[in-house]
Amino acid sequence: MAERLEQGDALLIVDLQNDFCPGGSLAVPEGDQVVPVLNRWIEAARETRLPIYASRDWHPENHVSFADRGGPWPPHCVQDTQGAAFHPDLKLPEEAVVISKGTDPDRDQYSALDDTGLGARMRQDGVRRVWAGGLAQDVCVRASVLDAAEEGFEVHLILPATRAVDVNPGDGDRALEEMREAGAVIEQDAEPVQ
Ligand SMILES: [Zn+2]
């Protein structure tokens, strides 16, 4: 369905980084396929001068989420490495607000709104409705959408703009159900009006 973006809208792009795309150290299947979709939303958001927020995992080398410290994940998105860079085809404008998370070696942050100041920043920017996409649907996108809904934003998850890592089969679908139950709208085929 065609969606016209308006004042009060914002785009939230979660962790669209090389390590989460095919070839990366924690690749989400088809993770790179969301890039052209999100580029269309970026274009539409820019035309209407809407805020764009992009979160990134930005871990120190000894991060608690890494397997060698007993965490669930292989090392990924280590600060200042190629793996931590945004996907090279993502047309993130200079004015996009970048939110780094997971920077404390002893603490992980799946959500872009977990103690990052993003919720306050969005309120300050007059945001009411958040269009979200990125990686991974069942991990950091899930956590960010749940937090944004909890903070009172109207959240729309752009389904074609996200993919699940599905460590356990069905994780992606279960995450969608949780987000729906939290009040988020799951947009099956939304496309922005240019
Ligand atoms: Zn991480």
Residue 193 confidence class, pLDDT cut points 50, 70, 90: confident
- Cα-Cα-Cα-Cα torsion 83, 45, 165, 190, nearest 10 degrees, comes to -160
75 CA distance to ligand 1 middle (Å): 8
34 contacts 154 by C-beta, under 8 angstroms: no
What percentage of the chain exceeds 90 in pLDDT?
95
109 CA distance to ligand 1 middle (Å): 8
Residue 178 confidence class, pLDDT cut points 50, 70, 90: very high
- Residue of 115, 165, 160, 174 whose CA lies nearest to 140: 165
> Phi and psi at residue 34, in whole multiples of 5°?
-85, -15
Rounded Cα distance between 28 and 25, Å, is 9
The SS3 assignment for 58 reads: coil
57 CA distance to ligand 1 middle (Å): 5
Residue 150 confidence class, pLDDT cut points 50, 70, 90: very high
**Can you give the pLDDT at residue 89?**
98
pLDDT at 173 over 80: yes
pLDDT at 194 over 90: no
pLDDT at 140 over 90: yes
pTM for the model stands at 0.97
102 CA distance to ligand 1 middle (Å): 6
What percentage of the chain exceeds 70 in pLDDT?
99
**Can you give the pLDDT at residue 1?**
79
Examine the residue annotation and report whether 101 is marked as an active-site residue of this protein: yes
Tell me the two tokens of residue 56.
Answer: 């990134």
Q: What is the DSSP letter of 17?
A: B
Rounded Cα distance between 187 and 183, Å, is 12
pLDDT at 2 over 80: yes
Identify the active-site residue in 21, 57, 77, 140. 140
Mean pLDDT of 76-99: 98
Q: What is the pLDDT of residues 9-64, one digit of tens each?
A: 999 999 999 999 999 999 999 999 999 999 999 999 999 999 999 999 999 999 99
- Residue of 178, 194, 131 whose CA lies nearest to 159: 131
Q: What is the pLDDT of residues 94-130, one digit of tens each?
A: 999 999 999 999 999 999 999 999 999 999 999 999 9
Examine the residue annotation and report whether 15 is marked as an active-site residue of this protein: yes
The per-residue pLDDT of the chain, averaged, comes to 97
Q: Which residues contact 158 (CB under 8 A, 6 or more apart)?
A: 37, 38, 41, 131, 132, 133, 187, 190
Helices and strands (H and E) in the chain: how many: 4, 8
